[in-house]
Amino acid sequence: MQASPAVIWAICVACIQHLVCPHILLLRAGGDRPRPAPGVSTAKVECFSDYMTLPIPRSHVEGLRRWLGRTLQLPGTWRVPSHLNPLLAQCGYFLHPTPAGDFIFRARYSACFMRKEKENYRLEIRILRRGVKGLQRSEGHIMKCPATVPRLGRQRVQCGPTSIRVSRPLPPMCDGTQTPWLLSLQGELVASLEDASLMGLYVDISATMVTIQSPRQDLLQGQQVLNNSVQLLPLWLVSSHCAYSLEAVCPPVSSQPGSEVLVHIPRKSLGLVKRGFHFEEALSLKSLRVHQVGTFAVTESRDFLVVRIPGAALLQVQPCQEPGGAPGKQAFYSVDLSLEFAESATAVLWTVENYFRCVGREGWNFTQQTFAEHLRCGAQAGTESTL
């Protein structure tokens, strides 16, 4: 019995500038003369910081579910997709519906059966299909992404009484067409980086960093996180099929520091993610270190990690000038946190600075009493962290 003709199909897309181009191959056994595969879309692999994605036509998704169920030894679960999806997630796989009725298959670089070969991550999947005579056959897909995708897990947030400033590493271009990065606020396109000043945004771009500064009243949005009021900057960079978070959280403006410093960190990837799809699951904290202190506690909401640190360990004072020109004093703190998430190979360095309002002599007398109380409490506190 002769083998069927070979089908070799490759599509190459440059996900990251200066990096090896990811590709997908559709393979069948047989001769060596290529021809287009029937019923298969011009799907392409897209590479991001922590995962790769592949569009799956609706006509193929059932076959992929069948193969995943068998390969992961999940007998029968493919018949009910809602039962299969949580089990796939445990192995680092996800199937996300698109508005057009098709699907996005997403695989973490740490997923089951993912292999690292030299400079690439490599995953082979198969789609089971029924033949003309009812016999089952399959199509094999090899997904590849460069293992040298930049790791962009650093963020510096400076919260002042009137403004917020966020600095992050400048991401590389998302594709080979030099598509510029645009600013996006809550999913809506806002402006190019060059036109950001028209909105009152200050943008500074160096060879390695991008810094955004905004008046607090213009873009920050109030939220409640675990019964605490915070102000969120819901800002992203977007380009082609990629998105890059500039989200940051500041505490409300105050003149008097409290007994605790609260640091709010979004539970989402700080690397490149797929644009336009809200499937970024909340990341699971693996480890956390506060550089300045050993005493802290961590709580989690659906969207944020909240790190509580005794105020006496961080609070400092500096001279300042009140709006009228009178001398005053200003409380502030700066804290550095190193984090690791189970779903990401990227270690995160998160720095937060917060500056309280400048207060004059009368206000400072009260603040000195507050500081003294904090110092007494800090001296009595233990030294073990809670995580």
What are the Cα distances from residue 50, in Å, to 126, 280, 344, 358? 22, 11, 6, 42
Q: What is the pLDDT of residue 262?
A: 96
Q: What is the pLDDT of residue 346?
A: 78
Q: What is the pLDDT of residue 264?
A: 96
Res 57 pLDDT > 50: yes
Q: What is the pLDDT of residue 14?
A: 32
Across the range 34-39, mean pLDDT stands at 37
Task: Give 231-265 pLDDT, tens digit per residue.
Answer: 999 999 999 889 999 999 999 999 889 899 999 99
pTM: 0.79
Q: What is the pLDDT of residue 25?
A: 43
Phi and psi torsions of 88, nearest 5°: -65, -40
**Amino acid sitting at position 236:** W
Across the range 140-158, mean pLDDT stands at 83
Q: What is the pLDDT of residue 22?
A: 42
Helix (H, G, I), strand (E, B) or coil at 376: helix
Q: What is the pLDDT of residue 141?
A: 84
Task: Give 266-290 pLDDT, tens digit per residue.
Answer: 998 888 899 877 656 788 999 999 9
> Any idea how long the chain is?
387
Task: Give 99-122 pLDDT, tens digit per residue.
Answer: 899 999 999 999 999 999 888 999
Across the range 83-92, mean pLDDT stands at 80
Closest C-alpha among 273, 223, 207 to residue 244: 273
Confidence category of residue 12, pLDDT binned at 50, 70, 90? very low
The tokens describing 151, both together, are 């790791």
Res 38 pLDDT > 70: no
361: which residues sit within 8 A by CB, 6+ positions away?
328
Q: Concatenated DSSP letters for 3-43?
A: PPPP--EEEE---STTSPPPEEEEE-SS-S---PPTT----
Q: CA-CA distance, 286 to 296, in Å (whole number)? A: 16
Look at the block and give the residue holding tokens 């998160």: 350
Res 54 pLDDT > 80: yes
Q: What is the pLDDT of residue 349?
A: 95
**Amino acid sitting at position 4:** S
Q: What is the pLDDT of residue 75?
A: 59
Q: CA-CA distance, 210 to 231, in Å (whole number)? A: 21
Q: What is the pLDDT of residue 278?
A: 61
Q: What is the dihedral of CA 21, 24, 30, 35, to 10 degrees?
A: -90
What are the Cα distances from residue 318, in Å, to 321, 358, 364? 10, 9, 12
Res 340 pLDDT > 50: yes
Task: Give 172-230 pLDDT, tens digit per residue.
Answer: 888 656 788 999 988 787 788 888 888 789 999 888 899 999 999 888 999 999 999 99
Q: What is the pLDDT of residue 62?
A: 86
Q: Concatenated DSSP letters for 91-120?
A: TTEEEEE-TTS-EEEEEETTSTT-EEETTE
Q: For residue 168, how many other CB atoms are within 10 A of its CB?
A: 21
Average pLDDT score over the chain: 79
Q: What is the pLDDT of residue 342?
A: 87
Helical H segments across 221-319, by residue range? none
Return the beta strands (E) in 160-266 as ranges: 163-169, 182-185, 188-192, 202-205, 209-215, 221-225, 228-233, 235-239, 242-245, 248-250, 260-266
Q: What is the pLDDT of residue 387?
A: 40
The tokens describing 209, both together, are 């960093």
Interhelix angle 58-71/81-90, nearest 10 degrees:
60
Confidence category of residue 33, pLDDT binned at 50, 70, 90? very low
Task: Give 314-332 pLDDT, tens digit per residue.
Answer: 999 999 988 888 899 999 9
Question: What strands, in cross-sheet order, belong to the sheet with 297-300?
Answer: 260-266, 304-310, 297-300
Which range of 14-23, 124-133, 372-381 scores highest in mean pLDDT? It is 124-133
Task: Give 363-386 pLDDT, tens digit per residue.
Answer: 665 455 555 555 555 444 443 343
- What percentage of the chain exceeds 70 in pLDDT? 75
Q: CA-CA distance, 319 to 325, in Å (whole number)? A: 12
